[in-house]
Chain A
Amino acid sequence: GAGVSQSPSNKVTEKGKDVELRCDPISGHTALYWYRQSLGQGLEFLIYFQGNSAPDKSGLPSDRFSAERTGGSVSTLTIQRTQQEDSAVYLCASSLGRSSYEQYFGPGTRLTVT
């Protein structure tokens, strides 16, 4: 079946602009996650959704970052007033549920802030 999809695959934006990154999880997966992969910080957790609720937002680096999920499916990660340090690959993953269920990752969105 279809895996996790993300769009756009690449995004170049100017410093100070807002960006929206989209994630379509695997159908039927109730849990959705956002991670960030950057050279300096490695792979780091951003936020976890169970259904449309986000019980763990502890990884969001600042209040410029927000995310929502609608209909228990698609999620959007929004970065306001982008900074150069936001440049990274943003990865989305989904799983059947929480606990020991494995997470399946999308191909990522490469964000470059100029």
Chain B
Amino acid sequence: AQSVTQLDSHVSVSEGTPVLLRCNYSSSYSPSLFWYVQHPNKGLQLLLKYTSAATLVKGINGFEAEFKKSETSFHLTKPSAHMSDAAEYFCVVSVSGGATNKLIFGTGTLLAVQP
């Protein structure tokens, strides 16, 4: 079965410092992976997606993620955190085949950005 594991439930960084949110995946074949962000009392917004093209994926707001098959990882990074990045981030794997087509979410990482 496909799944994702977010290694940190909370991450706190200072404004202007790098962000690293860690995600490991489990999949029997090449997965489609996503990062979504959810700001307080807002809906889920797609940050970026990986679908077996380039292993380094660039997303919105300066975020990027690197697919590493050898490490089964898909970590999210940003060189310099901004106050507006404070939100909850979800690593997601797509399960598609036969009758099913759905997203499996990780447990989320709450990012706090300190001034």
Kindly list chain B residues whose C-beta atoms are within 8 Å of the C-beta of A42: 105, 107-108
Task: Tally B residues with Cβ within 8 Å of A.
Answer: 22
Q: Which of these, B32, B46, B102, B104, contacts A48 with CB under 8 Å?
A: B102
Query: Is B43 an interface residue, CB under 8 A from the partner?
Result: yes
Nearest Cβ on chain B to A80's Cβ, whole angstroms: 23
In the bound complex, do residue A43 and residue B102 qualify as a contact, i.e. CB atoms below 8 Å apart?
Answer: no
Query: Is residue B75 contacting chain A, with contact meaning CB distance below 8 A?
Result: no
The distance from the CB of B53 to the nearest CB of chain A, in whole angstroms, is 10
Inter-chain CA distance A102–B49, complex, in Å, is 8
User: Is A98's CB under 8 angstroms from B34's CB?
Assistant: no
- Cβ–Cβ contact B44 & A105, under 8 A: yes
Residues of the B chain whose Cβ atoms lie less than 8 Å from the Cβ of A56: 99-102
Q: Interface size on A (CB < 8 Å)?
A: 25
- A70 close to B (CB within 8 Å): no
A91 adjacent to B49 (CB under 8 Å): no
The distance from the CB of A100 to the nearest CB of chain B, in whole angstroms, is 4
Q: Give Cα A98–Cα B98 distance, bound, in whole angstroms.
A: 11
What are 16 A-B contacts with C-beta separation under 8 Å?
A33-B102, A35-B103, A45-B104, A48-B101, A55-B99, A55-B101, A56-B99, A56-B102, A58-B100, A91-B43, A98-B96, A100-B49, A102-B49, A103-B46, A106-B43, A107-B42
